Amino acid sequence: MSDEGHTTLSYAQLRTLALADPSATATVVDALRFLHENAFHPEAEETGNWWHWEIGTPRILLDICVLLRAHIPDADLKDYLAAVRWFCPDPDRQVKTGPWSPLTETGANRADKALIVALSGLLAGDADRVALARDGLSPLFEYATSGDGFYEDGSLIQHDTVAYTGSYGVVLLTSVAEVLALLRGSPWEVSDPGVSVVFDAVEKSFLPFLFEGRMMDTVRGRAIARQHSRDRDIGAATLDAIRLLAESAPSSYAERWRALQRPTGFHVFGAMDRVVHHRPRWSAALSLSSERIARYECGNGENLHGWYTGDGMLYIYDLDDPDHYTDEFWPTVDPYRLPGTTVDTRLREDVGRGSGRGTGAVMAPNRVAGGTVFEGGFGTAELDLHGEGSTLRAHKRWHFLDDAVVALGTDISASDGRRIETIVENRNLHVDAGRRFVVDGVVQEPELGVERRHLGVQWAHLEGVGGYVFPGGTDLISLREERTGTWHAIDVGVSTEGDEVEVRRVFHTLWLDHGVSPRRAGYMYVLLPGASEEGTARRAAQL
C-alpha cells in the first residue's frame, strides 16, 4: 500500500476505535495529533493518489471530529480543519497540481467533496463554507449528455467512459443523501429543484441493477476485484442510501420507494452500453463496449484480469443461487472464459500491475453496441465485436424472452492463427463437485479436470442452474474443474487481511470451438435459466 494509503487506513482504524470503545477516547485524540504532525497537514506534499489526500483522509478525519468533538481541544480542531480546507478547499476542483488547479470535479468525487466541505464548515461555524457545499451539489442535478453524471436513460458514467452505477454511483447517491440530511431544516437546506434528478435516479438508475439485495457486477467496474467490496455489500449500501434519501425526498417519492417490489421487464441503458432483463425468478445483465464505453477499467493495481468483462459478458442471476457472483467468483473464475463472450485464446498479461498509480479505461473501436425494448417487457441487444489486440471480428446478438435468452453469433472471423471460442456458460458450483450434468438425456460423469467434446448436441442441462438448447445441433465442449486463486492475484492495489489466502471453487464451463482462424463462423444457443431437465428436453424438441 502507498504511504498516502497508509495514512487513510490509519485514520480509518482510529474511527473504528472511536466508535467501538469510548474508553479509548484519549488514545484517539493523541493519535490524531500525531498523524497531523507527521502525515496530514497543510505543509505536507500531495504525492501519489490524490484521492487519499482530498477525499479519503479528510472525510474520515471529519467523522472522528464529529464523534469526539467534546474531547478534541479547540486548537487541535482548528489545525485539523485547516488541513482539510487546504486539501479540499471546495467541491468544484482538484488541487493535486496546486491550490488553483483548473480540473473540475464531477460525479461521486464532487458529491464527496461537497459533504467534506459541509462538515468542515459546520464544525468551524463557517456559514459561507456550508453554503459553498450546498451550491456545489447543483451541477450534479443536471442530466449529462457526455462524460460523467446521470443520463436521462438511467445510465451513470464516471471517468468519462465507464459504466459505474454500482460503485461511484452508489458513492454519489450516498454523499448526496448525507448532505441533504445534514442540511435539512437549516438555513442552508438544499432547495435546487434539480435535485429531482437524484430522486428519479433511484428507480431509473439503481433499482434495475439490484437482484435480491445484490448490486450487479456489470456496473461495478474495477471494484469487482476488491475482496471487501462484493455485490452483497454494495447492494446493502445502496439500500441504506435510498433509505436516507427518503428522509429528504418529497412524500410521493418516499412512499413509492417503500412499496417497490423486484422489477420485471427489459431495460436499456444506451449511454453506458448495458442492458438488464428481469423475470419473476431470474435476471440477466449484459455488458457491452464501444467507442463510447470502455471494455474495462484497470489501474491502481486493480482488476488485473478484466480483459473480457465488456465484450458481451452475460450475467445470469437466479433466486435459487443468488450468491453465484458473491462467493469467491472473481478470484477463481477462468478470466479467459466469461459467459457470453467470443474470445481469441491468446495469452494475456495482467493489466495495471506495472502501470503505476491512477486508472485507465481500455476502449473498443466499434460503434454498434446497445439494445431495443419491445412491447411486453422483452428486448434485444447486439454488439459488433472487435477483439482487443486481435483480428477477431464478430457480430453478436441476444434476444431476451419470457423464459429464455437466445444468443446468436455471425461473421466470426480471425486470421492470427489462434483458436476462437464462444463461452456458453461458466458456472460457479461453489464446492458441489457432484452436480448432475446431462447431455441429450445422457448423464455425464462428474469427473474433475476432464475436458469432454460432445458431438451434435441438441440440449444439455446443469442441475440447479438450467438448460441449454442448440437448435440444429452443435459440438459442445464441457469442463468441470476445481479452480484456485487469490484476491491478491487480481488486486494488488491495496493489501487486506486474507487477500493472499488461496480459495477454491468448482466451476462448470461450456463453450463452442470455432477453430483456428475461422472464416464467417456462427452459433446459436438458447439459455433457459431455472428450467428443469424435462422442460429443457421439451424445448429442444420444439426448435
Residues acting as catalytic residues:
109, 159, 168
Nearest to 82 by CA among 126, 141, 41, 115: 41
Q: What is the DSSP string of 13-25?
A: HHHHHHHH-GGGH
Instruction: Count CB neighbours of 490 within 10 A.
Output: 26
One-letter amino acid identity for 276?
Answer: V
Nearest to 137 by CA among 101, 182, 83, 80: 182
C-alpha cell at 267: 431495460
Per DSSP bridges, beta strands 503-516 and 419-428 are: antiparallel
| Residue 313 vs residues 151, 338, 339, 478: alpha-carbon distances, Å | 23, 6, 6, 18
Contact indicator for 64, 33 with CB cutoff of 8 Å: no
Contact indicator for 461, 467 with CB cutoff of 8 Å: yes
What is the C-alpha to C-alpha distance for residues 407 and 76, in angstroms, rounded to an integer? 63
- Report the first-to-last Cα separation within the chain, whole angstroms: 55
Nearest to 61 by CA among 2, 132, 123, 135: 123
Contact indicator for 170, 245 with CB cutoff of 8 Å: no
Contacts of 323 (CB under 8 A, 6+ apart): 232
Cell 459442445 belongs to which residue? 476
Residue 428's DSSP bridge partners are 507
What is the C-alpha to C-alpha distance for residues 491 and 299, in angstroms, rounded to an integer? 9
Tell me how long the chain is.
543
Nearest to 216 by CA among 337, 307, 313, 110: 313
What is the C-alpha to C-alpha distance for residues 510 and 526, in angstroms, rounded to an integer? 13
C-alpha cell at 382: 447486439
Q: Rounded to an integer, what is the distance from CA 2 to the centroid of its chain? A: 24
Contact indicator for 21, 35 with CB cutoff of 8 Å: no
Contact indicator for 210, 235 with CB cutoff of 8 Å: yes
**Residue 287, SS3 per DSSP:** strand
Per DSSP bridges, beta strands 521-529 and 405-413 are: antiparallel
C-alpha cell at 529: 435459466
What is the C-alpha to C-alpha distance for residues 161 and 151, in angstroms, rounded to an integer? 13
